[in-house]
Chain A
Amino acid sequence: MPGSTRAFATTEAPTRAVARRPNRGPGRLTAAFTTAGGAAGLVLTLALFAIAGLADVVAPTDPFASVGRPLSSPSRLHTLGTDDLGRDLLSGVVHGARTSLLVALSVTLLASTIGVAVGSLAGYRAGSVDDLVMRVTELVLVVPRFFLAVVVIALFGAEVDRLILVLGLASWPVIARVVRAQTLSLVRREFVDAARALGASEVRVMVRHVLPNALPAALVVISVNAASVILLEAGLGFLGLGDPRMMSWGYLANNAQRFLRVAWWMALFPGAAIALAVLGLNLLGDAVNDLLDPHARRTPDA
């Protein structure tokens, strides 16, 4: 396990002392991300962030500008071809990454904030508060997010802030459940008793001692949820419900639908970008999961 540090070559150099402690430390971290799957997840996710962040630099042209002959196939001039209005598809895909990531991050932030707050409250307070909070969580868990988002966008308009709000408000229950389960098991541990015995306030015990230990497990569901939000956003865009002011992968796929016979590239590349982004986040979630679960079988896999 030590020595092979492909993904983290610069940041982590596991020493023998670290390697002897199997439960914590950079040794395990490195191991999780040096499996083929973990490394691929890290690289894909970092690439998504880089492309989205540097979209203006990376994209050859304005994604909405007509710059070439309509429906020209991939060439040296237009790497991924052009669409029916002569817009450069590579620029569209690059700017689509920005929209996808913006939505995924904002929804994740909103859902995680609610989920962590609700979950730790329920786990820490237990009893009737827990009962009530978990009942509400179950109610929200039932809501089909895609169909709710369709109704909300039809009523409130397709601006991206509405989409973020509705998906964020409907995505927290899974996170809350995991945080609650973690908190429930953590509050009975000795170190929490010790903190209390030392006179730490309830809030301090919760925030400084319980929460940091509950979060890693929540990270797994948070990254998987971010992946599902990317798919939802793309699906809504594909039905023509995307924000018209923003280039998105779903919009590109929607536009491609009318040209399946003549312009395969219009359908192929935006969808491939979605698949790679989602794959990256799922693999990252798997890697974090392996890192947390000491029983996880550690074999190099995809």
Chain B
Amino acid sequence: MSACYLLRRLAQVVPAVAGIVLLAFVVVHTAPGDPVLALAGEHGDAAYYAFMRQKFGLDRPLPEQLLAYATRLLHGDLGLSYVHGRPVADVVSERLPATLLLMATALTLSSAAGVALGVLAARRADRAADFVVRTGALLAHATPSFWLAQVAAITLALGTGLFPVQGLTDARRPWTGGRYLLDVLHHLVLPALVLAAGELALMTRLTRAGVLEGLATDYARTARAKGLPDSAVVRHALRNAMLPLVTVIGGRVGMVATGAVLVETVFAWPGLGQLMLSSIQTRDVPVLLGMFLLVSAAVIMANLLTDLTYAWLDPRVRYD
């Protein structure tokens, strides 16, 4: 990976971020209703409205407002939450760790299991195990995450009582230390499995296709002709499948965040999903907008990391 490519790819982040900021600005400014009424109430007099307009810069020309908005965003200022009366950045970042824990666990589970199942399906191509894995993947891919969560809550949590129905910890028994960690893990099992299921499907399909493609190449045939055991040949083929997999994991951040928000709502997981739900009910637009900006930034960063990883993994990749 050349330094030139690195710089050029880094430079592409600028228009992407600018595009998202512009989009957020346009959406907010084309919305119906006067923001002054939201800030100052419906019963203020003209002088008070004028004062509020001036105080919040609403009397300035739009380009100037956009510049001010972008400058604030770049300083990490996402505005004030209507409901919490605190900076949106604080409100959101309090909820972020729980969501990140859920997303990271689900992505790790789905990547590991997806590769394993994909290899299994490829090695047993067109036999019973392959059929089962592929059918399962198709079904999991079509299933809405919140529905799978509801079904898991009804059967595995309410039905068997083996798993807690909701929350991050058991509110009745506030554990500390090691017991606390175990309690969190116990609560994490169902949401993480449900969130992983949807991603698992995609990883399985991709791994299977990649390994099958790899097994059909000349180098796989050479490896077989040398007398390498089957498992070693599959390992050769798997390397071939890893590149598209890297791309897909990076490109899924937006979808995984969407799934996390929905799954969290079912299990009352105290992350961004709960915050989104309450912000929707109270029409706390700054918080919702902050979450949109945060996820957009995460998607841009993930794309960047994916491209850099890709260029590092595959020396053939040259972007000119």
Contacts and interface: CB of A to CB of B under 8 A. Distances in A.
A240 interface: yes
B228 interface: no
B8 to A, nearest CB: 13
Contacts of B261: 146, 239
A143 B15 CA distance: 13
A234 interface: yes
Interface in A135-149: 135, 138-140, 142-148
B292 A144 contact: yes
Contact of B142 (A139, A227, A261): A227
Interface in A151-205: 151-152, 154-157
Interface in B254-290: 254, 257-258, 261-262, 265-266, 276-277, 279-281, 283, 285, 288-289
A38 to B, nearest CB: 12
B19 A142 contact: yes
Given A142-B20, A146-B254, A147-B291, A260 B154 contact: yes
B144 A147 contact: no
Given A156-B31, A257-B150, A274-B147, A279 B276 contact: no
B134 A302 contact: yes
Contacts of B158: 260-261
Contacts of B109: none
Interface stretch (B50-58, B179-187, B296-304): B296-304
B27 interface: yes
B5 interface: no
B16 A142 contact: yes
Contacts of A142: 16, 19-20, 296, 299-300, 303
B288 A150 contact: yes
B142 A235 contact: no
A140 B146 CA distance: 26
A156 B283 CA distance: 11
A148 B288 CA distance: 9
Contacts of B134: 301-302
A144 B281 CA distance: 21
Contacts of A235: 144-146, 258, 262
B142 A238 contact: no
A148 B285 CA distance: 12
B39 interface: no
Contact of B258 (A144, A151, A279, A299): A144
Nearest to B266: A257
Contacts of B285: 151, 154-155
Interface residues of A, number: 49
A139 B16 contact: yes
Contacts of B300: 142
A282 B142 contact: yes
A147 B146 contact: no
Contact of A253 (B142, B146, B291): B146
Q: Which of A135, A151, A232, A272 has the most CB of B within 10 A?
A: A151
B93 interface: no
B190 to A, nearest CB: 13
B262 A239 contact: yes
A239 B145 CA distance: 13
B280 A147 contact: no
A241 B280 contact: yes
A138 B15 CA distance: 10
Contacts of B138: 37, 279, 282-283, 302
A239 B276 contact: yes
Nearest to A231: B144
B265 A267 contact: no
B262 A147 contact: no
A77 to B, nearest CB: 23
A267 B258 contact: no
Contact of B299 (A144, A156, A275, A279): A144
Nearest to B166: A260
B150 A260 contact: yes
A275 B147 contact: yes
Given A147-B258, A302-B131, A275 B142 contact: yes
B146 A264 contact: no
B73 interface: no
A256 interface: yes
B239 to A, nearest CB: 21
Given A157-B32, A235-B258, 9 more contacts: A138-B12, A151-B288, A235-B146, A253-B150, A256-B150, A257-B150, A268-B151, A275-B143, A278-B141
Q: Which 8 A-B pairs have the closest CB atoms?
A: A271-B147, A279-B142, A155-B31, A144-B254, A139-B19, A302-B135, A278-B142, A146-B258
